[in-house]
Chain A
Amino acid sequence: MSGGAGMAIAAPVRSRRTSPLLLLLSLRTLIALFAVFAFFSLTAPNFLAVETLVLLAKHVSINAFLAIGMTFVIVTGGIDLSVGSIVGLSGMVAGGLIDRGLPLPMFHVTLFPDVAVVIVAALAVGLLVGLVNGLLVTRLDVAPFIATLGTLYVARGAALLVSGGETFPNLVGRPQFHNTGFPVLGAGTVLGVPVSVIALIVVSLVAAYFAGRTPFGRRVYAVGGNERAALLSGVPVDRVKLIVYMISGACAAFAGLVVASELVASHPASGETFELNAIAATVLGGTSLAGGRGTIWGTIVGAFVIGILGDGLVMLGVSSFWQMVIKGTVIIAAVVLDQMQRRMQRRMAILAQTG
């Protein structure tokens, strides 16, 4: 790995008398980010071009939306496998409302709602799937893995049912129906910055604020760290879990809107296996699958590492088969390093006591 980037971060903090190796380990995601960035800057032509970086940020933003919601769920000790299907379903709901409207046969009319209403409706669908996940986990005691595996299929099936499996093309709306403007989400820019990237910044800030500064965030960590202790401290454990699945559903629905808007079309299969990328970004960012640990910023960095790796390898012309091998290796390495760090910290704690 590029030692230069690592040393630069390690140096100022070394005075705190922690082991330098431990420090390197704890900064591993950031170091990995700098390493992949530096590597592709040197090897891939045009990697540092503004257009490339803008495109990269747009790619990353979709996975990052999913991963932010996923982080809340995983920090409580759960998992949400349904997010990829929600991406597809929310896109189909939005596409259907724009292209075909909402037929009301009893009044012999078809409603074509505003783009704002379309967006709200698609987000509501995500919230609804999240609500179902949350209720399954809290009220019916279904293991999160199974509950969300079930809704993965149900939501994907629903997405296919919306159009009978067809794609909704050309989601530009019609001026006479006042429902134009949907492509802005995916293609629009403000002062040269894509709208989806601005949305990513806003969502990250809001998520980090809720995770780090509010009682809700504190409770999310407490539930994942020790559910019984949290319960006895007055934390409404079930409500916290319900809310994190709804957050995850809403984040996924938003990602679905961005995808549909970028393509100016919605396809029922879109978002397949996105849940795995989101989990990978979250874990790469230092969130523990056992719950209780993780940060939004770590997850964002994780999403960027995966995104840069993906785009960079494509630019270098590495075959997609090798891309998968490399991505898998990076994820495993991240978790192995995480375990190493835990073990070292434990040993240091014992040393600090006996020494």
Chain B
Amino acid sequence: MSASQSEAHDDVVLRAEQVGKVYPGTTALQGVDFAARRGAVNVLLGENGAGKSTLMKILAGVEQPSSGRLFLDGQEVRFASINDAAAQGIGIIFQELNLCPNLSVAENIFLGHPALRFGIDIDTNRHALAARALMRRLEHAIDPDTLVGDLRIAQQQIVEIAKALARDVRVLIMDEPTSALSAAEVEILFRVIAELKASGVAVVYISHRLEELVRIGDTVSVLRDGRLQASAEMRDVDIPWMIAQMVGTLADQSDGPATRSGGAPLLSIADVSLANPHGGFLVDHVSLDVAAGEVVGLYGLLGAGRSELFEVLIGAQPDATGTVLLDGIDLTSLPIASRLRAGIALVPEDRQRDGLVQSLSVAANLTLASLWQFLRGLAIDKTRERNAVARAIGNLFIKVSSPDVEVTALSGGNQQKVVIGRALLTRPKLLLLDEPGRGIDVGAKAEVFRTMRALAREGLGVMFATSDLKEVLAVADRIVVMAGGRIAGDFPRAEATETRLVAAANQGTAISVGHLA
């Protein structure tokens, strides 16, 4: 590689040049430049689906780029695997914890690089000592012999961090490391990060919590829709700048208050709870009404219980308690199929895991939940099914060459529309959407939100969960905030401000809070 570039930034350890990544159905990353400087916290910022995780995975060797090059200390490198990258000093802490619950803390920490005696025998004593030292450094009294499965999530996060520190890292990538940590634990983490910085490690830090980033970040790079939107020194920018770069302009989708309801609520739930198998509640005695023609935004941080509440409503959580009334009909003990026919439909958060049947065509995916409508005798009436599919594709502007194409060939946004189309074909009265804007491009996002508004105008009740402030403020008529499984706030659109929503969403689980509105 050219020497001039490496001399210009000789504090750059790891550099990505024009990297791109294409998956079937989506272009996740396109022509992105990124540099990680030693002794600095290099912040990577972007909305869900902006390509942060993909870039991070490429930097850590989890994925190989479809285009572009990586440079380590000015030398072009190719990481064949995460182990390959780790051997060259690149560590990564994933947001979804990558730990084996059946192994001990020490075993997890040294999983990929066990200390050996005579080259074969695992040196458990050395492991235990090193693990204990790491725990001291992280200021946590976790016994190295504890099984990881017996730890709380926050403790598991600490183990994950220890796992990365156990190798001599030169670049440490942290993906939302604070999402499961309490305020005190975050302080400890920040001290560790400062220490790493001082010892010359390049930290790549990904988080949604902007206040955090301003505190610890040195440089910031903003991704949007798979491209590098902007990069700057943290001291030169502020939170509004970051928001503007990250979000762009999301037009206000609301079309005036749509609270034309006056009669009985469409959905009425009372005292709905879902116990957490590890103690406590995932959904904690929630009571809520939703009117026909209303778009309700369900805002909250990760783990606030939004997805779980939706799963209870659709009937996917048989252990839930409390009553669910839809249009006066008691759905409480009905199976999912009956609830769908009663008029409640769910667009799940994780399209790939819960939404799409990847091996089926677009058409079969669309009609899967509403096959009962196309029955003629025993068989599916292909003509009627075809017509319904064509209508759904037309109404939702799904871009597809033929309805018989496998659904995985579509882009993320169009896949999302297929899942929404499937829900709409059941002719629901209440549509639940969990993070409908996640992982799809801005254009598709706007279309999805427009569709939600249009459906509400037609008299549907629409309820959507999101952790995106801009999104909830732009689309919802009413915003319900969840925190720790409870309703922590209920604001009409006019009274909702970013500050009030964030304050409500950050209420601790221990504090009991009534309605703020």
Contacts and interface: CB of A to CB of B under 8 A. Distances in A.
Interface of A: 209, 213-215, 218-219, 221-222, 224-226, 228-236, 288, 291-293, 346, 349-350, 352-354
Contact of A215 (B27, B380, B409): B380
Interface of B: 22-25, 27, 66, 314, 316, 335-337, 339-341, 346, 348, 353-360, 364, 367-369, 371-372, 375, 378-380, 382, 408-409, 411, 422, 426
B335 A225 contact: no
Given A215-B372, A234-B340, A235-B368, A229 B357 contact: yes
Contact of A232 (B24, B316, B378, B408): B316
B136 to A, nearest CB: 42
Given A228-B354, A229-B354, A214 B379 contact: yes
Contact of B25 (A213, A228, A288, A353): A353
Contacts of A231: 316, 336
A349 B25 contact: yes
B379 A226 contact: no
Nearest to B426: A234
Nearest to B371: A215
Contacts of B341: 234
B353 A228 contact: yes
A230 B339 CA distance: 14
Given A215-B375, A229-B356, 9 more contacts: A218-B368, A218-B371, A221-B360, A225-B357, A229-B353, A229-B354, A233-B336, A293-B359, A354-B66
Contacts of B382: 213
Contacts of A346: 24
Given A214-B378, A350-B22, A234 B364 contact: no
Given A222-B360, A234-B337, A354 B369 contact: no
A291 B348 CA distance: 22
Contacts of A209: 379
Contacts of B348: 229, 232
A218 B336 contact: no
A233 B364 CA distance: 12
Given A233-B368, A350-B23, A218 B358 contact: no
B150 to A, nearest CB: 23
A219 B24 CA distance: 25
B356 A226 contact: yes
B316 A213 contact: no
A213 B358 contact: no
Nearest to B352: A226
B380 A214 contact: yes
Contacts of A233: 336, 340, 368-369, 422
Q: Which of B25, B359, B409, B411 gathers most chain A CB within 10 Å?
A: B359
A349 B346 CA distance: 29
A215 B378 CA distance: 8
B222 to A, nearest CB: 24
Given A215-B375, A353-B25, A224 B355 contact: no
8 contacts: A218-B371, A222-B360, A231-B336, A232-B348, A236-B337, A288-B359, A292-B360, A349-B409
Contacts of B409: 349, 352
